[in-house]
Amino acid sequence: MSTGPHAEDDRRTLWQMPPRPPWLAQVNALGATMDMAGVVPLDEHSLLDAARRNTGLDDFGDSEWLPHFRRLIRAMEEEARLNFFGRILTRSDLLVYLEARLNITEAYKRHPEIDAQQISAPVFILGFGRSGTTILHETLSQDPQFRSVRMWEALWPWPAPEEATYETDPRIARAQARIDVVNAVSPEWANMHAQGGALPVEDIEFTYSAFFSEVWGCGFQVGSYDRWFAAQDPAYHFWWHTRILKLLQWKYRKPHWLLKNPTHMPRIPHLLKAYPDAKIIFPHRDPVASADSVVNVEGTIFSWRTDHVYAGDEFAEWIDVDTRVRKWDDVMRWIDEGTLREGQHAHILYADFMHDPMPAIRALYRDLGLAQDASAFARMQAFLEERNRGTLGRTASYRKSASSDPRVVAEREKYRRYQSRFGVPDEI
């Protein structure tokens, strides 16, 4: 069960730790008897030296990233309460991101012309987690006018992907092997969230190598890092974001990038500074229902690495009702003030998408002025029909709020303006 110091009406107190696979419980129990930090070091010297040895490279690029990295690994040691396998998984991940950084830097040194790449009118899907952003992302990615970042190229962006080998690149199998590890650690995860070596990923999953992102608070309980990042100018994050996209499209580009990242929501003005011609899709779902699901998903992700889930106030930004309300208040204000211009944003209801997706999708294309092609819509329809034959998302079980709960009644009142503005129906 959740062990955090939360009020009784906090959703996190209802979260239940899934049973550990027996092999994992035994590994962690044995590891707890060892000097875990000595056996699986997460210090700067050990990590950077290993990344250099593994790649034969030594230039990590600009110096701005290193203070971010140091703050992150300190928070991991002092706050994340990693168990033994959690340390193994974390070291493995950090080395992948450090090696990616070395390779990205080397790519730009060898090919400075990459920086001249232009990114034209990218389309971003922004909304609360568990509001249908993932299924919408995968569905729209069936349209050939869009290029999405796949898991394998997010992890290993160099050598730059090429169109001729894009669907057969051996990095796809490497990425799938990493996902298989997570599924072995957390068997319930496979039914919660679509992941695959060749599937699209969120933006934060290709910006790990900046070490300056909201992604760390989504995977680790590192409250001090979260609070620090929230107070920073995110310009460096978006500079690295652009740097990655330029590299990935250098040898394989399409008319538009199709991107997805719920955590961009509070930073839309900064996103538009980096991409002035961006188009933004906002999915809308009952915020009470999506908050329940977020708690379940995040608790599961944290449990990959720790036995003390929700032990502090981590991830509050995406759970606290007042903070969630402010996020949508900001979006509405940016629309009303013209920061988000007409034709630059479009909206889709989760309920409409789940009931009859294609009319809702066509409305998005119309509102954003995107090129419409009958064969692209047919591909989307075929994808959804195939997806509906599976079990993804249908077997996950978690505690859900009741409409009569006093907390829900109070939340409904706070969300009233948002739900009325966009016509978002209650689910519970």
Question: For the whole model, what pTM was predicted?
Answer: 0.94
HSE at residue 69, side-chain half, CA atoms within 13 A, is 21
Q: What is the pLDDT of residues 332-350, one digit of tens each?
A: 999 999 999 999 999 999 9
Residue 272 lies in a domain: yes
Residue 427 lies in a domain: no
Domain with 29, as residue range(s), is 11-422
Higher pLDDT, 12 or 233: 233
Structural domain count of the chain: 1
Residue 250 lies in a domain: yes
Q: What is the pLDDT of residues 378-415, one digit of tens each?
A: 999 999 999 888 655 544 567 788 888 999 999 999 99
Run of H or E residues at 58: none
Q: What is the rounded distance in angstroms from the CA atom of residue 147 to the CA atom of residue 140?
A: 10
Q: What is the rounded distance in angstroms from the CA atom of residue 97 to the CA atom of residue 209?
A: 5
Q: What is the rounded distance in angstroms from the CA atom of residue 314 to the CA atom of residue 227?
A: 9
Q: What is the rounded distance in angstroms from the CA atom of residue 375 to the CA atom of residue 268?
A: 32
Mean pLDDT over 170-197 rounds to 94
Residue 2 lies in a domain: no
Taking all residues of the chain, what is their mean pLDDT, rounded to a whole number?
Answer: 94
Tokens of 3: 């062990």
Residue 6 lies in a domain: no
Domain of residue 193, CATH code: 3.40.50.300
- The one-letter amino acid code at 123 reads V
Residue 1 lies in a domain: no
pLDDT tier, 226 (very low <50, low <70, confident <90, very high otherwise): very high
Select from 89, 412, 44, 370 the least CA-distant residue to 220. Answer: 89
With a CB cutoff of 8 Å and minimum separation 6, the contacts of 390 are none
Residue 347 lies in a domain: yes
Beta strands in 208-268 (DSSP E): 256-260
Mean pLDDT over 33-39 rounds to 97
Q: What is the pLDDT of residues 51-83, one digit of tens each?
A: 999 999 999 999 999 999 999 999 999 999 999
Residue 338 lies in a domain: yes
Structure confidence at residue 2 (pLDDT): 43
Q: What is the rounded distance in angstroms from the CA atom of residue 210 to the CA atom of residue 213?
A: 7
